């Protein structure tokens, strides 16, 4: 039965969104949030049901499609409004609806008292709907609808407090940068569509059809398509060079940041690459590009994260960096490792953001970690959960992030598409991650309180609706990794096995020896602990050191603090370049074209002086005669226009009769 209820998973949040958008203002707040939280929770329940139905099937038949109706039918080309459940989309809907529900619940406490309460929940539901549509769709076109929907909702929610101009700008920036990526996405799938259609006559955008016919497409086209699709992914998933919108996206309410960063939106790109795995395994060059971009993003975003002082900015760059890891995973062909990290990251990043929201809530809106400190005593639940998330993201053995990150790094090392360079960047990124996360924890929760007296008095633990989600996510962050324990521990990798049917495209990451795996694992553990230890030394033992370091490496510090001036670079050279091109063109216009035009005009003036005489006498005479004729004819004909509808109708009917009589006679 659940096979035919899949459509309800995305439709439920959509319904909630519509209700709240239309009549939410008139409903009491309790009803508004019940509708929002209830609809997404029901989706989650359905997703769980679908998941259990899926695992009750034999491993090679774990796939079913719920076709609602034919959306576009043009001869043999059909696009169905159909939802596809296979292990990959099952994992994704569990993450999206599960983490999404928790964030909805948290929002009830966080947005308490906001004046656009119902609109907020409507947008949040709409966001969940778009993301569920994206992951459930069975064709690229429908996926693109979700893809754009996610972009729209991010714009709406990032600029939610649009009274402040920066917030509105951040929303706009996210939207525009995403549009650049979307262009790549559209170009990519249209290229694939037309090439396949022209070459073989199979016009389809359906994943299953594409999958079975992909080998008929030339490799060069596959590589081009793969890279264009990846451009789309860099936009949505904030990779170099289109990551700039994500840190600005912190302007939205904190639960929105959590939703964008953890459960939806940014994971869309990773999901899309994983979904198109059948294409990428045939286009190794595209995979290499993905892996390198991912590795560079993982490293550089982590370096920026080192010196940021805004609690949410640190987390934003950490998201960019962690997404880089996911792209390393999918880029080296280890799709299940990438999706595994996507899942664990969803848990701990949602937890980190919700924790930071709790901190900001307690600090009466303060986000600068230099003005925090010593919060551990006053916010016990927040602190404990935040530390668990930190341990998970840094990759301390036993926590969720450890297994997934290790899986990716191991695959990066042994895969033919990876290599030492990518692995090394990944490990360095891990050290930096450990460093900045520990720094964040130490500056926020420990040490001497640095906030002013007034704020300090108001610090209080958040309400139950906010702490319960934190606890749920903390459990998941701590234990979520065990479903993907690598085989080196003597167990089966349950997660990879579950996803294996989706990724069985005849591509295998070569087996490394167990010694190698243990060694690599040792290195990443060492990386994590060295980062933590370094940060502890800098920010707990020798607390003047950071300031002195910043002093002596002033240039490097400024570069990091200003995010490598990438925003300025884009503004100056890309936006500025377009403007400069405009200036050049307008100069060209003014000097050369206008000059030519003026010269021609002078010549023309001479000619026309002569012409004028001829004109006045001969031509004007003729024209006036014609004009007078028209005026008098108009005077007669105008009487037909009586302004009476019935007269017009008579003419219409007689005219029609005339036409019909030609047919009949």
Site string (581-620) toward another protein, x via CB under 8 A:
----------------------------------------
Query: Applying CB under 8 A, which of residues 515, 551, 646, 662 lies at the interface with another protein?
Result: 646
Minimum distance between the CB of residue 649 and another protein, rounded to whole angstroms?
A: 6
Give the nearer residue to another protein in terms of CB position, either 623 or 659: 659
Cβ atoms of 313 and 250 within 8 Å: the answer is yes
State whether residue 217 is helix, strand or coil.
Answer: coil
Residue 664 sits in the site that holds another protein (CB under 8 A): yes
561-570 in b/e form (b: 16+ CB < 10 A) is eebeeeeeeb
**631 lies in the site for another protein, by CB under 8 A:** no
CA distances from 576 to 203, 579, 609 (A): 42, 5, 47
Return the ∠ at Cα 439 (arms to 360 and 517), rounded to 5°.
Answer: 120
The first and second tokens of residue 106, run together, are 């948290």
Asked if 641 is part of the footprint of another protein (rule: CB under 8 A), the reply reads yes
CB of 654 to another protein, least distance (A): 6
Strands (E), 243-397: none
The H-assigned helical ranges of 24-86 are 29-56
78, β-bridge pairs: 73
Nearest approach, Cβ of residue 628 and another protein (Å): 19
- In angstroms, rounded to a whole number, what is the distance separating the alpha carbons of residues 662 and 665? 5
**Is 113 among the residues that bind another protein (CB under 8 A)?**
no
**Of 268-276, 376-384, 431-439, 654-662: span binding another protein (CB under 8 A):** 654-662
Copy the structure tokens of residue 135. 């992951």
643 binds another protein (CB under 8 A): yes
- Asked if 640 is part of the footprint of another protein (rule: CB under 8 A), the reply reads yes
Pick between residue 61 and residue 661 the one whose CB is nearest to another protein.
661
Residue closer to another protein, measured from CB, 575 or 654: 654
Nearest one of 168, 195, 505, 86 to 335, comparing CA atoms: 505
From residue 119, give the alpha-carbon distance in Å to each of 157, 242, 342: 10, 29, 29
Tokens matching residue 475: 């459990």
- Least distance CB 659 / another protein (angstroms): 10
How many residues belong to the chain? 665
Q: Which stretch binds another protein (CB under 8 A): 1-9, 30-38, 307-315, 639-647?
A: 639-647
Q: Taking the complex as a whole, how short is the minimal distance between the CB of residue 657 and another protein, in angstroms? A: 5
Partners of residue 84 on adjacent β-strands:
65
Hey, is 69 helix, strand or coil?
A: strand
649 touches another protein by CB under 8 A: yes
Q: Is 644 in the site for another protein (CB under 8 A)?
A: yes
Which residues, numbered 282-341, are part of the site for another protein (CB under 8 A)?
Answer: none
For 159, the enclosing helix (H) or strand (E) is: none
Nearer to another protein, 309 or 647 (CB): 647
Q: Does 22 bind another protein (CB under 8 A)?
A: no
Smallest gap from residue 103 Cβ to another protein (A): 36
Kindly determine how many residues on this chain lie close enough to bind another protein according to the rule CB under 8 A: 18
Residues at the site binding another protein, with contacts judged by CB under 8 A: 638-647, 649-650, 653-654, 657, 660-661, 664
């Amino acid at each position: 039965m659940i096979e035919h209820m899949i459509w309800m998973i995305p439709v439920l949040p959509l319904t909630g969104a519509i209700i709240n958008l239309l009549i939410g203002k008139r409903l009491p707040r309790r009803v508004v949030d019940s509708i929002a939280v209830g609809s997404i929770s029901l989706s989650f329940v359905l997703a769980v049901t679908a998941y259990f139905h899926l695992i009750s099937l034999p491993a090679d038949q774990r796939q079913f499609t719920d076709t609602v109706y034919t959306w576009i039918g043009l001869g043999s080309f059909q696009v169905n409004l159909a939802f596809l459940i296979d292990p990959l989309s099952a994992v994704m809907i569990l993450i999206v609806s599960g983490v999404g529900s928790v964030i909805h619940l948290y929002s009830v406490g966080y947005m308490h008292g906001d004046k656009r309460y119902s609109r907020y929940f409507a947008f949040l539901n709409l966001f969940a709907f778009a993301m569920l549509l994206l992951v459930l769709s069975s064709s690229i076109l429908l996926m693109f609808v979700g893809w754009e929907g996610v972009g729209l909702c991010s714009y709406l929610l990032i600029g939610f407090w649009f009274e402040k101009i920066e917030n509105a700008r951040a929303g706009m920036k996210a939207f525009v940068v995403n549009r650049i990526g979307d262009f790549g996405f559209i170009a990519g799938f249209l290229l694939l569509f037309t090439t396949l259609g022209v070459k073989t006559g199979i016009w389809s955008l359906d994943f299953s059809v594409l999958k079975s016919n992909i080998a008929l497409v030339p490799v060069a086209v596959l590589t081009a398509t793969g890279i264009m699709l990846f451009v789309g992914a860099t936009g949505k998933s904030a990779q170099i060079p289109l990551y700039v919108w994500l840190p600005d996206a912190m302007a939205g309410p904190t639960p929105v940041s959590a939703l964008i960063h953890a459960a939806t939106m940014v994971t869309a790109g990773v999901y899309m690459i994983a979904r198109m795995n059948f294409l990428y395994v045939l286009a190794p060059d595209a995979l290499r590009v993905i892996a390198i971009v991912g590795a560079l993003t993982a490293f550089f975003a982590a370096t920026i994260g080192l010196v940021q002082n805004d609690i949410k900015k640190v987390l934003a760059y950490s998201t960019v960096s962690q997404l880089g890891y996911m792209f390393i995973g999918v880029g080296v062909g280890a799709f299940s490792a990438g999706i595994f990290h996507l899942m664990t990251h969803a848990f701990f990043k949602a937890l980190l953001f919700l924790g930071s929201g709790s901190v900001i809530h307690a600090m009466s809106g303060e986000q600068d970690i230099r003005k925090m400190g010593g919060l551990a005593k006053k916010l016990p639940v927040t602190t404990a959960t935040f530390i668990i998330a930190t341990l998970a993201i840094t990759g301390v053995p036993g926590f969720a992030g450890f297994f997934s990150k290790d899986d990716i790094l191991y695959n990066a090392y042994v895969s033919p598409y990876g290599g030492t360079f990518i692995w090394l960047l990944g490990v360095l990124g891990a050290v930096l991650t450990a460093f900045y996360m520990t720094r964040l924890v130490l500056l926020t929760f420990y040490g001497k309180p640095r906030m002013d007296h007034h704020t300090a008095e108001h610090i209080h633990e958040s309400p139950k609706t906010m702490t319960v989600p934190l606890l749920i996510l903390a459990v998941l962050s701590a234990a979520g990794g065990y479903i993907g324990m690598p085989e080196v521990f003597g167990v089966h990798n349950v997660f990879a096995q579950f996803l294996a049917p989706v990724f069985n495209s005849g591509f295998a990451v070569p087996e490394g020896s167990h010694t190698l795996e243990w060694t690599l694992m040792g290195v990443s553990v060492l990386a994590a602990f060295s980062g933590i230890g370094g940060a502890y030394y800098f920010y707990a033992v020798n607390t003047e050191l950071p300031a002195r370091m910043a002093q002596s490496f002033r240039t490097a510090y400024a570069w990091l603090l200003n995010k490598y001036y990438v925003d300025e670079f884009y503004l100056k050279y890309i936006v500025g370049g377009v403007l400069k091109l405009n200036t050049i063109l307008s100069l060209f216009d003014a000097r050369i074209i206008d000059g030519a035009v003026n010269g021609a005009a002078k010549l023309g003036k001479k000619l026309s002086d002569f012409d004028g005489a001829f004109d006045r006498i001969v031509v004007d005479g003729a024209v006036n005669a014609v004009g007078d004729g028209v005026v008098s004819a108009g005077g007669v004909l105008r009487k037909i226009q009586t302004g009476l509808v019935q007269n017009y109708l008579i003419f219409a009917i007689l005219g029609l009769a005339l036409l019909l009589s030609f047919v009949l006679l």
